[in-house]
Structure 1
Amino acid sequence: MKCSQCHTDNAADSLFCGKCGAVLASNASVEGQATDVKPPSNPATRLRHTVMEILEGEPSQPLSKYVEWLITVVVLVNCSAVILDSVPEIHADYKDFFHELEFWSVMFFTLEYVLRVWSLGAKHSDSAWRGRRGYIFSPFGLVDFFATMPYYMHVFFPTLDLRILRVLRLLRILKLSKYNSALQDLFSAVYSERRAFGSAAFLLLIATIVSASLMHFAEGHAQPEQFGTIPHAIYWAIVTITSGYGNIEPVTKGGEVVALLTGFLGVCMAAIMTGIVASAFANQLSRKKSAYQAQLRQVLADGVVSDAERDTLKRLQAQFRLSDKEVQTMLDQAQGKLKQ
């Protein structure tokens, strides 16, 4: 389904555009077309459909919120254990506890992954593999899969470096991005402002090369090991512009002047990048609110809110991470405009 605003291709069953947040007209229509799943006709299909709704966080399923919190707690506890286990003293005292916690955590994540693959077969009535394939090869599906891999890798390959396994286990924190749109909003915001980021990156490149060249000219003879070549000086320029602090200091008057100018350029670049990111996030939130308001006006147009329409609004509210207060404000505004 192609978005009418940014012309991005989206999945056929998406309610809104993954890039700009706009509601996809045909899928967000409130006549119950948000999904192509037919009402379950037998107990097994009903169970699979219910499990899918719970794991996918459907507003119509009260248990979905508790499952979301349970998974979040398990992930946080597990990541905290991995961090503490890297301390030799703590590892020596609680080695068995950490091992048991890792085992049961992997069993929990494995069960979650299997249930998701099994239940998502009910997402599309025409093909069970269609829904499963969409999850397995999605970013969230890959994160869920690799969340269990460190344990099984250690079982089958016990000689693997434990530090590598710790890093892989800490990637489980990415599972939380499924329940918080921060990362998605970041990527969408960066993509929507890609031209501005490209311009800022170009300015950063110019500032780096000019600063490195000037420092090579000013300090190359005094510190040949640090500034003897422009590539060596580029390292200093990047560190100075991005963080403002490095372990290399100029020793000549000309080098000090170049360092001051480079530090000033770093402050300017930080201000530019901060402004772009802040503007991108604000625009992303505005697009989501506009999309929800458009759907809200469509729902209220006939004066009757059906169950399908209510479910669609709840789904959009959860997807856009809008608070009840924000929704109530938009509802009051929409009703006020209809009365005029």
Structure 2
Amino acid sequence: MGKLNDVRLYVVVFILLCLNNIACKSSSSHTDDLEKQITSAFYHWKVAYNPTRSEVRELKRLTVNKLYVHFFDVDWDARTRQPVPKAFVQFQQKPVGTIVPVVFITNRTLMNVSPNGLPELATHITQAIKRISQKSGLAFSEVQVDCDWSTSTRDRYFRLLTLLKNRLNCPLSATIRLHQIKYTDQTGIPPVTRGMLMLYNVDDWKRADTRNSIYDPDVANQYLSFVSTYPLPLDLVMPLFRWTIVYRNNRFLIFLTNLDRQTLAKSHFLAPQSDSTRFVATRDTSAFGIAIRRGDLFRSEAVPSDRLLQEKARLLNQISNQRLTFALYHLDSTILSSYPRETLQTLLQSPKLP
């Protein structure tokens, strides 16, 4: 009888293990089959909020009803030794849909402001956000803070975020750079509801030998494997903008926005280099609104359509939360016209959960 009972016990245990294995596989398969539920959005980063007819038409065509609108900057004034707001948005039209106010805070502000000055700064920021919203008849249910904080300013920044969250009485989100994803032990996790992962400005634009400061997959690959373990729910923003960076004697000279490689290639005073994105001035001249000297280096930067689509798919697989906002930076008719409609539609499509 004892041996028979042992056999029966082994059989029961074996059946339970099999059932458990089947259930786990079924659950895993169901999770893998779920598609992300995506809310599409654009950033608006201009002082005047006055979208053109083509921009409004594009928002409707792409069924985008959410905008992250830059409200103002906070920078450090060396003369008064105080943080000062600047570049306030001016609403010449009333936005429709969901509006998320965005406040950009420079890291030097956090480096210089005293810990005792943080409550007053939080109060001023809150009052400015509410004043702009009330004047323009806007309601908001989220505020985003954009800051490239460092290890030395982490504690002050996180304290400021906590103060803002308490004063605003609404969810707070914060932009997250790739280095802040990887080095969480140094940069910490901001005390906010969500993070907006910025998949651009990944390399040092000040260096003449940088390949593409907007987005270089080889640079990004050093960080992206850490996305899946980041403890905050993440949203994602990717770049549509393009620019040319000019260097003189290997030192940064100026940004030329919306100046693309094709325009540089047609300029007779520029000699193309081997990597196809760089051009060197062959003589002194004036063009693109600047004085050019022989030897000036022009580097054109943009992210092609296929790269945007590829990296979006890769990041969606890395981000663990099922619901997120996918945003493009930023709303501008000149920028939008540089991409095929099919690319924008594919980037902003919103699959639903089954």
Question: Considering the TM-score relative to the shorter chain, is it more than 0.5?
Answer: no
TM-score (norm 1): 0.23
TM-score (norm 2): 0.23
Q: Which structure carries more strand by proportion?
A: 2
Q: Which structure carries more helix by proportion?
A: 1
